[in-house]
Amino acid sequence: MSQHTPTDPPDGTDPPEGDDPGDNESTEYDELPADHPLVRTLAKQRAELKDLKKNNSSTNRELDEFKQSQLSEHERVIEKTKSDTRKSVRVEFAGKLVEAELKNALKGRSLPGDAVLGFNRDSFIDSEGDVDSDAIATWVETHSTQSEVPNPDLGQGTRGHRSSKPQIRSRDELSNMSDKEILEARNDGRLDTLMGQP
């Protein structure tokens, strides 16, 4: 005689799909009232967990203090030196990270000439040497404007107002030209690259 579980059909065939209560993925749970035994048990367990965490951190602190008290004066100095060195290296490295974050945030943006003087990189580093990237992005947004980056001149033909003649790229080319030719070249925009104009 075979035994059937309550979910098995009496004829021993597999139940049709969708009849299994576990198949329902969109199960909705009703919120239990605050005086329900499960809610009270959960609240009690959360309070106990909070107390355990508090006691654990207190115990860890006491253990660290005990370990420190067991160290000789020489060992204490070594531990303090290690800790201070780690911290100073983190802070120094964080300064470089701040500069890298600033350069990255300034891509496609321009700062007024004196704005960089007001940038204090140490203000973006906390006491543990962590960098506040969001604060850097906010500072850049506040102190800079979107800049129009000109396309680089690759010397590949005429663009815009320039003449069809090639750009003059060195002073050696000017030595073979008369004053009139140099003036014409300047008026045609052929000296723009040499003069550092976009």
Please state, in angstroms and rounded to a whole number, the distance separating the CA atoms of residues 54 and 157: 73
Instruction: Write down the pLDDT at residue 45.
Output: 92
Residues of the chain falling short of pLDDT 50: 1-2, 22, 24, 26, 162
Helix (H) / strand (E) containing 119: none
Instruction: Write down the pLDDT at residue 1.
Output: 47
pLDDT in tens, 93-104: 888 888 888 888
Q: How many CB atoms lie within 10 A of CB 85?
A: 10
Q: Which two tokens stand for residue 58?
A: 């207190």
Annotated domain spans of the chain: 88-148, 162-198
Instruction: Return all residues near 111 (Cβ < 8 A) that are at least 6 apart.
Output: 143, 144
